[in-house]
Amino acid sequence: MSNQDKDAASDAGEPDAPDQAGTRREPSIAAADEAVLSREKSAAVRENAAHAREGEARIREASATLREWDLRSDETQAASDDRISRLQQANEHLVIATLEASVMAEEIQAAKDKLEYLVHYDTLTGLPNRALLQDRLGQAIELARRQGRQLALMFMDLDQFKHVNDSLGHPMGDQLLQSVAQRLVGCVRQSDTVSRQGGDEFVLLLPYIEHAEDAALSAQKVLAALAPPHHLDEHDLHIGASIGISIYPNDGRDAETLIKCADTAMYDAKESGRNTYKFFEPRMNAQAVQRQSIEASLRLALERQEFVLHYQPKIDLQRGTTTGVEALIRWQHPQRGLLAPAQFVPIAEDCGLILPIGRWVLREACNQAQAWLQAGLPPITISVNASTPEFHAVDYPENVGAALEAAHLEPRYLELDLTESVLMRDVASTESVLHALADLGVKLAVDDFGTGYSSLSYLRKYPIDTLKIDQSFVNRMLGNADDAAIVSAVISLAKSLRLRVIAEGVETFEQVQFLRARHCDEAQGYYFGRPVAAEALATLLQAGTAH
């Protein structure tokens, strides 16, 4: 091809040669002619006429020769035409083949580019993938080693993303991942790498940090960027994230160790309540092992009937009577003893086991409430907690209805505790689930009120009966003016929206007095009673404890 090009180029150049040469010769001819004309004009005219005659004679002679050739070489002419036409055909084929080859070369290049992209990028989000991150991390470590600097790796996992997929479908889950990816890219520096590892896991590489605190700032930025709802179709989705951070060279000197440490720290962040970040600490390795063993034995706990419910009384602050109880799950672990929900509920949420566990809690609580009624104890409501995956499971209202029916319990005796994060996950679907539950006749309470990122407008929109003031505010309200103001404001808010209000975590008589003075309806906490087993609570109810 290149050789042909060269030939073509030289062919194309030939016609220019005489012109150029002619341009160089012309002035000297003109000058000489002028001189000849001036000195020997007549001689030149004669000479020119002789040349012209000579030229004409030569043309006549050549024509005669040609005519003679024409006559003699009809056969040769035909052969030559044939050769020319075959040459033309060959040439055409060559041109077509050349064009086809160039199209194929383009296609091969495009396929190569695509392959290159697939090998290094995630097709859903367009972010670098695991392989490219490994590559960049390796290079960044090498550079940091040579320059004696630190670098940070952040492993990020979306909180309960699985349940977005399960309740709203994979296409919505995909859109959410794309939206998260965009926000991540928007809040880091150009020199940082945001990659998707797969599923709902992202890894951020910060190759240039001065101190570990720089990574903490970046993690805070990421959490803040993810906090506002994602507007997708008609849904407003809230999703948090848990982030684990590892630092080179402190936590590891190679890519694999740094990723492992950041991953372990991420689990720790999840266990400390999610939507937060944690730096890796060596102690976390032991915890990660423990976590795995908990997950394994959690799978057997239901069939081995190792769960129990404890009940904590809720007290009417004006009358001093018990208005209800909250059912709180415990796990009687064969080796570790009685475990609190914080030690296993987050793990159960992550691996999906919370769904069968939640169904068991609903049935057990309804059966217990009915058993107390049958035993002639004063009627009380029973509160059951529902976490995000349970509430957003498509059959949640159905399960609630089934548990009530199986226990022959009137719906008004059952209250569901829903945290703000449960309610804010997806406004459109939350509203319809809440109405389905309210239609059943059960009561609805907002748990840990004041701790979420929620907007207050949902309080008007949703069929809610009760606000539960988070125990962190109650805890500090006597020593901190801000917390006291928040508690007072929540009580006023509840009153003006005609909701019942209950203070959680009440531990002292002074706290009771503060709440009574502000007309808080109910209270719950160690001051009135710790969560206890069903039999112990029955004794308490029989005694009709007055406070």
Site for Mg ion in 104-133 (CB under 5 A): none
Residue 417 binding Mg ion, by CB under 5 A = yes
Pick the closer one to Mg ion by CB: 364 or 447: 447
CB 257 to Mg ion: min, Å: 40
CB-facing half-sphere around the CA of 279: CA atoms within 13 A: 15
CB 543 to ligand C2E: min, Å: 20
Nearest of 183, 164, 181 to residue 173 by alpha carbon: 164
Query: Taking CB within 5 to 8 Å according to partner kind, which of Mg ion, ligand C2E, none is near residue 415?
Result: none
Handedness of CA 196, 198, 202, 208 (dihedral sign): negative
Give me the phi and psi of 156, to 5 degrees please: -125, 135
Q: Please count the residues of this chain forming the interface with Mg ion, following the rule CB under 5 A.
A: 3
Pick the closer one to Mg ion by CB: 174 or 316: 316
Structure tokens at 70: 């024409």
Pick the closer one to Mg ion by CB: 390 or 417: 417
Residue 426 binding Mg ion, by CB under 5 A = no
Query: Taking CB within 5 to 8 Å according to partner kind, which of Mg ion, ligand C2E, none is near residue 452?
Result: none
CB 357 to ligand C2E: min, Å: 7
Give me the phi and psi of 211, to 5 degrees please: -135, 165
Out of 323, 381, 385, 430, which residue is the one contacting Mg ion (CB under 5 A)? 385
CB 467 to Mg ion: min, Å: 12
Query: Taking CB within 5 to 8 Å according to partner kind, which of Mg ion, ligand C2E, none is near residue 252?
Result: none
Find the length of the chain.
Answer: 547
3-state secondary structure 464-477: CCEEEECHHHHHHC
Query: Taking CB within 5 to 8 Å according to partner kind, which of Mg ion, ligand C2E, none is near residue 341?
Result: ligand C2E
CB 419 to ligand C2E: min, Å: 7
Q: In the complex, which residues of this chain contact ligand C2E (CB under 6 A)?
A: 312, 328-329, 340-342, 345, 358, 361, 385-387, 417, 447-448, 471, 504-507, 525-526, 531
Residue 390 binding Mg ion, by CB under 5 A = no
Residues 348/162, Cβ–Cβ less than 8 Å: no
Out of 415, 447, 470, 521, which residue is the one contacting Mg ion (CB under 5 A)? 447
CB 334 to ligand C2E: min, Å: 20
CB 528 to ligand C2E: min, Å: 8
Stretch that binds Mg ion, among 154-162, 167-175, 262-270, 443-451 (CB under 5 A): 443-451
Pick the closer one to ligand C2E by CB: 155 or 473: 473
Pick the closer one to ligand C2E by CB: 249 or 341: 341
Give me the torsion for CA of 228, 229, 231, 237, rounded to 10°: 160
| Structure letter (DSSP) for residue 441 | T
Nearest of 299, 216, 198 to residue 265 by alpha carbon: 216
Query: Taking CB within 5 to 8 Å according to partner kind, which of Mg ion, ligand C2E, none is near residue 507?
Result: ligand C2E
Q: CA gyration radius for the chain? A: 43
- Tokens 């000849």 identify what position? 36
Stretch that binds Mg ion, among 187-195, 389-397, 415-423, 514-522 (CB under 5 A): 415-423
Pick the closer one to ligand C2E by CB: 235 or 314: 314
Structure tokens at 169: 């479908």
CB 412 to ligand C2E: min, Å: 20
Residue 179 binding Mg ion, by CB under 5 A = no
CB 328 to Mg ion: min, Å: 8
Stretch that binds Mg ion, among 215-223, 237-245, 446-454, 537-545 (CB under 5 A): 446-454
CB 471 to ligand C2E: min, Å: 6
Structure tokens at 434: 């809440």
Tell me how crowded residue 238 is: count the other CB atoms within 10 A of its CB: 24
Residue 192 binding Mg ion, by CB under 5 A = no
Query: Taking CB within 5 to 8 Å according to partner kind, which of Mg ion, ligand C2E, none is near residue 411?
Result: none
Residue 198: CB partners within 8 Å, gap ≥ 6?
130
* First CA to last CA distance, the chain: 100
Pick the closer one to ligand C2E by CB: 52 or 342: 342
Strands 230-232 and 235-237: antiparallel
Residue 415 binding Mg ion, by CB under 5 A = no
Residues 163/353, Cβ–Cβ less than 8 Å: no
Residues 413/381, Cβ–Cβ less than 8 Å: yes
Query: Taking CB within 5 to 8 Å according to partner kind, which of ligand C2E, Mg ion, none is near residue 203?
Result: none
Pick the closer one to Mg ion by CB: 150 or 387: 387
3-state secondary structure 490-530: HHHHHHHCCCEEEECCCCCHHHHHHHHHCCCCEECCCCCCC
User: What are 96-103's contacts with CB under 8 Å, separation 24+?
Assistant: 98/1, 101/1
Site for Mg ion in 339-358 (CB under 5 A): none
Residues 239/164, Cβ–Cβ less than 8 Å: yes
**Alpha helices, H only, 332-480:** 345-351, 354-374, 388-392, 396-407, 420-424, 427-440, 457-461, 471-476
Residue 63 host element (H or E): helix 16-72
Kindly list the residues in this chain that would bind Mg ion in the complex (CB under 5 A).
385, 417, 447
